[in-house]
Each structure stands twice: as structure tokens, then as C-alpha cells.
Amino acid sequence: MTTAATPMSVVTMPARSRSEVIAFAVMVALLLIAPVFIYPLFLMKALCFALFACAFNLLLGYVGLLSFGHALYFGWASYVSAYAAKVLGFNPEFAILAGALTAAVLGLVAGSLAIRRQGIYFAMITLALAQMMYFFAVQAPFTGGEDGIQSVPRGYLFGLIDLGQPLAMYGTVLVIFLGGFLAIYRIIHSPFGEVLKAIRENEPRAISLGYKTDRHKLIAFVLSATFAGLAGGTKAIVFQLASLTDVDWPMSGEVVLMALVGGLGTVFGPVVGAVIVVAMQNYLAQVGQWVLVIQGVIFVACVLLFRRGIVGELAARLRIKL
């Protein structure tokens, strides 16, 4: 990317805002003490989805590309991780990496096709490719069809730490989540991230300044797919299963909702959104047939009351960056 080097260096790096540092510290502290009060498995699920939503937000919130097929990377990564851990006997860390790599490759293929188009056409292409791979998952023998891949071993991290222990598993998921979160934060605040935001605001102007916007968009797309895959692979190891739910289109919709409820284009929004959506699915499971009604009411309330998402609205009210 030698051609882009000169204009990039002109972009001034924004100082890390104090509110973001404080919010990050609070989040880490909460996550460290949370397993004492909250059921760890639920927390792990929330963290996997939080990472997934952050990866999605990298694309929609910072490049302005609405992918409606992110379940493809999440779901296929979970299949590959589950298969690697169960059938090929990989260690959990390599199984998760294999999932993330698969997602990166899928993201490269789907991304290079989809970024040629804008807006609704972009969304439709990503959806079409995701559905294509969904039907492949339905048919392919190694995914187990609608039974999914069951009883995936959690195994030993680095061959040493027994992930069968809930707290060891939680620690691992927490490290993966924080690693992914910080990496995404770094990407957003790098010169590369500034270019992405420039593309979001006004693509023709970014082109006129000499940026190869397609190349930037593709890199962002692959990065987003990779982090989505990291989340998917981790989820497969946590739940010890991979199933069609994760590759189906409602999952692509769910991640859009998480990002929207939390706040698009905010660093912490997707995390909050993911926790809320997962908590609803989990705790409302007890009230049976009312789940959908309650979910609907909550979403209507969100759209009417917090247009910028919960975190976005909070940041706007307090005039801080989050």
C-alpha cells in the first residue's frame, strides 16, 4: 500500500479519550467479578456474541457497509472449529484459529465480490452468498445436517489447562474477547481506521484524495469476517456444539440488532447490545411463548426512545466518546 502511505501520514491521530479508558476499565472489572454473581456459561455466550457484534460494527459502524450475511463467517467458523476439535483432535486454541482462518478466507471471497456494489445491492449479495453456504451446510455430510456437530470436546488449552472447568473456560473466552476487542479498537483508531471513516462519510472524496477505497473496504471486510469467525469458533468450543442456527439468516439479523440496540459506530455499543439480546433470549426462555412479544416491545421502545442506540445516546447526552 505504498501509494496510500503519503496521504495517510497526514491524518492526525486522535488522542485516546479519557472516557473510553475509564469505560474499558469498568468493563474489564465487571467481567472479572461477574462469574461470582452470574452463571458463567451465560457470560461466555454473551462474550462470544459481543465479539461477533464488535466485528460486525467494524464494518457497518466504521465503513458504512451493511453486510446481511455475517452468519456465514460466524457459523462456518463454528463448524470448522467443532470439526477440528472433535474429528481431527486439534487443541482448542488451534481449533479456534482454524475457524477464524476459514472465516477470513470466506470473507476474502465474499468480500471481493460484494464490495463492487453499494448499499442494498451490497447487502443482497452478502445475504445471497451466506444463504448459499447455509444450504451447503444443510447438505454437507460433515456438518451433520440439522443435527449439527454434537459433543465437541473442550480439551486442554495448550495441552495444559483443562477447559472442562467453567472458570478456566471463562478466563479463556475473556482473554479472546478482550484481545479481539482491543484489536478492533486499535484498527478503528489507526490511520487505516481514519481512512475507513472517511470512506463512510464520503467515498468519492476519499477517492479524489488518492485512496484506493475498494482495497480498504476489502481489508475491512476480511478483518470483520475474521473476528466474526474468532467469535464463532470460540462459541463452538464453549457450547460443545455447532448447528445450523449459527449459519442461518436470522443469526445475520440478530447481529444487526445487537449493533443497533447498543449503538452503531460506538466502541462499546455492540458489547452492550449483545449482552441485552443474549440476556433476553436466555432469561425470557423461562416465560415460554411470550418471548417474541417481549422482544418486540423492547425493540420498538429502543427505536422510539434511543435512536442512536443505548451507548450512542448515553455518549451524546454526556458529550463524551464511548
Residues near another protein, by CB under 8 A = 39, 41-42, 45, 138-139, 141, 144-148, 150-151, 235, 239-241, 243-246, 281-292
**Contact status, residue 128 vs residue 71, Cβ threshold 8 Å:** no
**Contact status, residue 76 vs residue 134, Cβ threshold 8 Å:** no
Per-residue cell: 241: 456444539
Q: Which is nearer to another protein, 11 or 291 (CB)?
A: 291
CB of 193 to another protein, least distance (A): 32
Q: Which is nearer to another protein, 243 or 266 (CB)?
A: 243
Bridging pattern class, strands 161-162 and 156-157: antiparallel
Q: Which is nearer to another protein, 60 or 137 (CB)?
A: 137
Distance CA 53, CA 51 (A): 5
Q: Which is nearer to another protein, 86 or 216 (CB)?
A: 86
* DSSP assignment of 114-172: HTTS-HHHHHHHHHHHHHHHHHHHHH-GGGTGGG-B------EETTTEETTSHHHHHHH
Q: Which is nearer to another protein, 52 or 62 (CB)?
A: 52
Length of the chain: 322
DSSP 3-state assignment of 247?
coil
CB of 19 to another protein, least distance (A): 28
